[in-house]
Structure 1
């Protein structure tokens, strides 16, 4: 069997025996690594009969064999998900070792306790156990082979604790120290675990490139080792880490290598676990038949019951909508019977919840069908399954598993419109999650509670719950973007809706009030800006964007910001005028209807459409965004409109909006911003030293741009410019110029594409493509402060990816990656000659010696000049040029 050649894509998490199956476990690899550390550190212990330690038994009667057996029993309980039972045994064992004065074994047992306490959310107890373990290890003990391994294990544990508590830099340093100790002990697998942990910390710090490099180095190291069970397990861990970092193709290759080794060695459950992971990749790449073949192989091969059950659960999830509902319910009932025969465990609880999710999905689907009773059958089965999951989690004293199951039960009640039960159960899940600092579950439960309270008409309560959900998402910010964009929390499904629904509640008057309060308007604006910043960070997979709250009047007393927000049931606009209270206005129209009009307007900007149709659509959008504010804009003597656009509005040229007589650009200078916090005031204008580069000849499958030479020469005639054309415009040549001189303006006239996928966002050079994720390397001297930042970056001849509604993220990505204060770019590829004329006029205006011309005003004057030219007065030729960032 082969996984086939999967297309490059993103994936969501799926269930595996190494990680939980529901909710948004942001640090999905953590449990796998913790289990691996435990397994590595006690793998050499003799296997003994599992005997518990009686607290009343005297120390004289407790033999070394019994203590060793207790450690092993705790390990087995831990690995099977029975964490509270493992803790009880290890607590007793640690006390007995302390009474004996056996420091090394006491320290080792405390390490196990530290790992288990972390999984149970007992953070203070975990920290105390780890600290005590480290304090017990004197220098002389840590120099022995076993002492070094225990010390390294304690450090790995401490790193996990630090990362979970938000001390990411400390965690990275601790894991580097653990790696050094494992190295001195000659333990290569321990080093591997520590290095994978370091990659996770680097991702959380937003250092995606360093993390990826480290993982690639680990792959090379592992592949050079002789085949063994440990190598197969290590490769599987690496495959999971690469999967979460977004490198699916390499993840698949590494997992297949692990599969091949474990299959040849005859390690059945290792082989099965790896096949399950590969199947998950196939499923999420929508290769359903391939995924089903893997799951079937696991079901037939695996010895471990939970592995078989997990494969069956994944099959059921895939087959909903493909097989008759009675077959799905029959299969689910069979899995239910298998689960009932297992001892309670955390993984069992997650399997119960997974089964319930499938039943709820089936019920929702069947409820849309006429004359069917399968929706009731599916809901009833889901209710029984979740009741069992909650009971087992309580038996296990596993607060995290209980919160997961309770939250899912609350969702079932909500699906059944049993609002009071839904509220009670979801509140309980939220309280439990908050008590163990499980921010991922808090975010889900608080969101769900907000939806329930909104349904009941308790808007104040709903806002409070949504505020908790948003706060949790903000605290998870680095974890949300440090992994593949669609892993764990799928951004579009599980993050963005929370913000939008929260903003929708804030922008409606409270009971007894006629208007939205200023406090709610400010909070709504802050929340939508936080969402937009999160979108860009999600684009980069890095949570490293600097932000600084600023007041509009501190930037420009004659500028207004217009913040349109597309909600499910309406379009809201927040208007900010310098020194005045915020105001907002509403158009009651569904998001689908708004997007349809915007998409139509985008198409109508092509010359093939009638002027009447184009102007009608442009006027309709003008009426939404500008018309209600016309009088206030005039009274405030506003000269510049700064749009912070949302959704499809990012791909539309605001300058082409039409009031019935004039285009917007004829009345105002126009700029765009991803958020004022991301673009504080630009640098003071200085003499324009310009680097102008471009391609005129066809390269790498892209057509020639003959007008570029005219464009670049015109620029050189207007300002002091260094020119690189064709063969001179190589990646290296461009980078050398950027390092050598403090260019205030960088003009790139070349093919390029903006996309919502960073891998498809690039600029073309003579010999290469510059991806957006590499763009900062070309500007690194400016990042280090050795040269002034670029004030204006011009991206000429680039275009947005066809059909990509979020392609403007790529444009913002280039702007932010370069560190430029402003970026001038085009939304679509425009006629060479018209571009040359517009750019020549733009630079002529910008370099005027009579007054300091704002960049937005220089662009406006250039666009008006095009409007007066009969050849190019159609918006198609002048409207796509947009200024992103600081407009002064």
Structure 2
């Protein structure tokens, strides 16, 4: 039972109407469009408020203002069966946005006398705790008598004790709540109360017990249906506990596992799939490669490195908000083609300089989450050269790593050079694909009207192409439905791309996306890029993660394929040398032209 939406059980969905029940079911499963259609149909059925409740719940995270308007419309109708539900959900949203403003206080005053069901009391009590109205919350929760909800009542009372600085009493109530949840096999309650117990054990200085309880809480995540913002805090807390200056090798290995699991579950939720647990972590035994995990915590930046399976950490004194502002400033610096190297050098001082890298190291494998995915790490500068001048740079999903070689030089190239579907023309795409076909004799090219979804599918059904090069508009977004690639006639989303690229049962070894960009203003837009790398089935993905220049891209790709095919170099070395070529080009030396391209291990 999801605590944040516990009152949804109040809604009876036995509603008549052709196709309506199916739409409602799709909406409950997270389909916003189905919910919107259900609202339209409900006007003729006369049960509009329940459909609106579901729609409002779905958009509450992405568009809280719209959700507030939807809840308010139900309240204005004053329907008895949904009035309290709308009030409770509206209160929760307003509390997050405005805290204790006049409207919030008015709703609280009304609900104190209006609610009559224990499920409503649990929801109300949780919101009162968030507003730090602990006495009022305690009174409401003490009225709960339903044995099925007693775990939630006790757990929320424990949270009150925790917030009021009484960890011993909090531990006692959390434990009672945990035992009840265990007897009821309630995974969400077990997750929340194990997490609460972990926090109070930290307050009491019992770190071994806290670590075991954090692990217990995380073990319940695969059984839950939560948004990533609901589980991200526990990962951040746990990492903060593990990543201390005197941490053992065992603790650092556990931190590596927790960080990679956080990444993996963020992608799983992005695809609306079940989170999974993995006990495996990546090993880096070779002396020419080092794995670097920059981890942004609330009050510090941690650099966790793994070299020849030896773990080290370095701490940078910068809080999460300041680092976010720095990242935004650096990206704007690149976009505006400013000359100063100060920001690039600062990033190098934080992340790479403390590592005192061994001379044998040739490749830096960065394992990053969304705090750093949108940072062009190749631009780090040691005062003399960009980082890429000294090392091969690679981004990894963290859960796997393989050598960057291609078994067979056979390629399918496809692209759209003409203005299409409100997108501007890409005049150098034709030259880009033409150059590829001249370098690789065993190639097939689909350009403009030939690059239709059907033609693309048919080519991959009939032939296996180890390399697929897509020179077309695309967008990476934190919204799954808004991450796509452009064909002549359609837009392909990630799930469709996955199905197409795996249509003949043989994996793609290298996928190149040479004209895509991240969604403007979307802080987690590169999640879409990570999603494509993860779900395309490709061993490696080369993609542009920022705005690019058409002519520079053509030159870079020409150099890349000459290095890969004619010189027989690895993927990593080929991209590395192609970017260096642009750095030394008089017209394209600024990071704006070359830093957006990244090599991602799928």
TM-score greater than 0.5 by the shorter chain: yes
Aligned to 1:753: 475
Tell me how far 1:863 sits from its aligned partner. Answer: 1.1
Tell me how far 1:834 sits from its aligned partner. Answer: 1.4
1:526 counterpart SS class: helix
Say if 2:127 is the partner of 1:358.
yes
Answer yes or no: is the 8 Å Cα contact 1:283–1:291 preserved in 2.
no
Aligned to 2:563: 845
Aligned to 1:243: 27
Which deviations, in whole Å up to 9, do the C-alpha atoms of 1:736-775 show, x marking residues without a partner?
1112222111111111111111211111111111111210
Aligned to 2:16: 231
Tell me how far 1:571 sits from its aligned partner. Answer: 0.8
* Structure 1 pair 259–452 and aligned structure 2 pair: CA distance change class (3 A): farther
In the alignment, the residues of structure 2 paired with residue 322 and residue 838 of structure 1 have an alpha-carbon distance, to the nearest angstrom, of 50
Which deviations, in whole Å up to 9, do the C-alpha atoms of 1:179-220 show, x marking residues without a partner?
xxxxxxxxxxxxxxxxxxxxxxxxxxxxxxxxxxxxxxxxxx
Which deviations, in whole Å up to 9, do the C-alpha atoms of 1:669-692 show, x marking residues without a partner?
1111111x2x34258632301111
Answer yes or no: is the 8 Å Cα contact 1:12–1:490 preserved in 2.
no
* Structure 1 pair 724–547 and aligned structure 2 pair: CA distance change class (3 A): farther
Say if 2:545 is the partner of 1:827.
yes
Aligned to 1:629: 355
Say if 2:408 is the partner of 1:408.
no
Alignment of 1:714-753 (within 5 A): 714-720=435-441, 721-753=443-475
Alignment of 1:330-729 (within 5 A): 332=108, 334-339=110-115, 348-362=117-131, 364=132, 378-389=133-144, 392-393=145-146, 398=147, 400-473=148-221, 475-476=222-223, 479-480=224-225, 489-492=226-229, 494-508=230-244, 515-543=246-274, 549=280, 551-553=282-284, 557-578=287-308, 580-609=309-338, 611-612=339-340, 615-631=341-357, 633-634=358-359, 637-675=360-398, 677=399, 679-681=400-402, 685-720=406-441, 721-729=443-451
Answer yes or no: is the 8 Å Cα contact 1:413–1:419 preserved in 2.
yes
Which deviations, in whole Å up to 9, do the C-alpha atoms of 1:629-670 show, x marking residues without a partner?
124x32xx1111111112331112221110111111111111
Tell me how far 1:236 sits from its aligned partner. Answer: 6.7
2:580 counterpart SS class: helix
Which deviations, in whole Å up to 9, do the C-alpha atoms of 1:5-36 show, x marking residues without a partner?
xxxxxx9964546259xxxxxxxxxxx7xxx8
> Normalized per residue, which structure has more helix?
1
* Structure 1 pair 450–552 and aligned structure 2 pair: CA distance change class (3 A): closer
1:733 counterpart SS class: helix
In the alignment, the residues of structure 1 paired with residue 50 and residue 595 of structure 2 have an alpha-carbon distance, to the nearest angstrom, of 55
In the alignment, the residues of structure 1 paired with residue 278 and residue 170 of structure 2 have an alpha-carbon distance, to the nearest angstrom, of 38
1:803 counterpart SS class: coil
* Structure 1 pair 18–825 and aligned structure 2 pair: CA distance change class (3 A): same
* Structure 1 pair 498–249 and aligned structure 2 pair: CA distance change class (3 A): same
* Structure 1 pair 564–19 and aligned structure 2 pair: CA distance change class (3 A): farther
* Structure 1 pair 840–311 and aligned structure 2 pair: CA distance change class (3 A): closer
* Structure 1 pair 407–502 and aligned structure 2 pair: CA distance change class (3 A): same
Tell me how far 1:230 sits from its aligned partner. Answer: 5.6
Aligned to 1:137: none
Gap runs ≥5 in structure 1:
1-10, 21-31, 37-228, 264-269, 343-347, 365-377, 481-488, 510-514
* Structure 1 pair 230–608 and aligned structure 2 pair: CA distance change class (3 A): closer
2:344 counterpart SS class: helix
In the alignment, the residues of structure 1 paired with residue 464 and residue 59 of structure 2 have an alpha-carbon distance, to the nearest angstrom, of 49
* Equivalent residue for 1:289, pick from 46, 58, 69: 69
More deviation, 286-295/438-447: 286-295
TM-score, normalised via structure 2 length = 0.91
In the alignment, the residues of structure 2 paired with residue 433 and residue 281 of structure 1 have an alpha-carbon distance, to the nearest angstrom, of 27
Answer yes or no: is the 8 Å Cα contact 1:748–1:796 preserved in 2.
yes
Answer yes or no: is the 8 Å Cα contact 2:256–2:281 preserved in 1.
no
In the alignment, the residues of structure 2 paired with residue 757 and residue 576 of structure 1 have an alpha-carbon distance, to the nearest angstrom, of 32
Answer yes or no: is the 8 Å Cα contact 2:24–2:34 preserved in 1.
no
Answer yes or no: is the 8 Å Cα contact 1:761–1:771 preserved in 2.
yes
Tell me how far 1:453 sits from its aligned partner. Answer: 2.5
In the alignment, the residues of structure 2 paired with residue 336 and residue 811 of structure 1 have an alpha-carbon distance, to the nearest angstrom, of 47
TM-score, normalised via structure 1 length = 0.63
* Structure 1 pair 702–327 and aligned structure 2 pair: CA distance change class (3 A): closer
Answer yes or no: is the 8 Å Cα contact 2:370–2:527 preserved in 1.
no
Which deviations, in whole Å up to 9, do the C-alpha atoms of 1:513-568 show, x marking residues without a partner?
xx2111111110001100101111111112488979465347x5521111111111
**Greater Rg over alpha carbons, structure:** 1
* Equivalent residue for 1:778, pick from 500, 503, 522: 500
Alignment of 1:172-191 (within 5 A): none
Answer yes or no: is the 8 Å Cα contact 2:542–2:600 preserved in 1.
yes
1:670 counterpart SS class: strand
1:870 counterpart SS class: coil
Alignment of 1:55-204 (within 5 A): none
Which deviations, in whole Å up to 9, do the C-alpha atoms of 1:249-300 show, x marking residues without a partner?
2123225534632x3xxxxxx6765565456557664232342121242xx4
2:426 counterpart SS class: coil
2:372 counterpart SS class: helix
More deviation, 352-361/698-707: 352-361
In the alignment, the residues of structure 2 paired with residue 528 and residue 744 of structure 1 have an alpha-carbon distance, to the nearest angstrom, of 31
Answer yes or no: is the 8 Å Cα contact 1:607–1:874 preserved in 2.
no
2:326 counterpart SS class: helix
In the alignment, the residues of structure 1 paired with residue 94 and residue 457 of structure 2 have an alpha-carbon distance, to the nearest angstrom, of 52
In the alignment, the residues of structure 2 paired with residue 621 and residue 323 of structure 1 have an alpha-carbon distance, to the nearest angstrom, of 36
* Equivalent residue for 2:578, pick from 846, 850, 862: 862
Answer yes or no: is the 8 Å Cα contact 1:282–1:290 preserved in 2.
no
In the alignment, the residues of structure 2 paired with residue 547 and residue 447 of structure 1 have an alpha-carbon distance, to the nearest angstrom, of 19
* Structure 1 pair 843–414 and aligned structure 2 pair: CA distance change class (3 A): same
In the alignment, the residues of structure 1 paired with residue 416 and residue 106 of structure 2 have an alpha-carbon distance, to the nearest angstrom, of 63
Aligned to 2:9: 18
CA-based RMSD: 2.9
Which deviations, in whole Å up to 9, do the C-alpha atoms of 1:838-886 show, x marking residues without a partner?
111111111135xx52211111111111122111111111111110116
Aligned to 1:790: 508
In the alignment, the residues of structure 2 paired with residue 243 and residue 527 of structure 1 have an alpha-carbon distance, to the nearest angstrom, of 32
Answer yes or no: is the 8 Å Cα contact 1:236–1:274 preserved in 2.
no
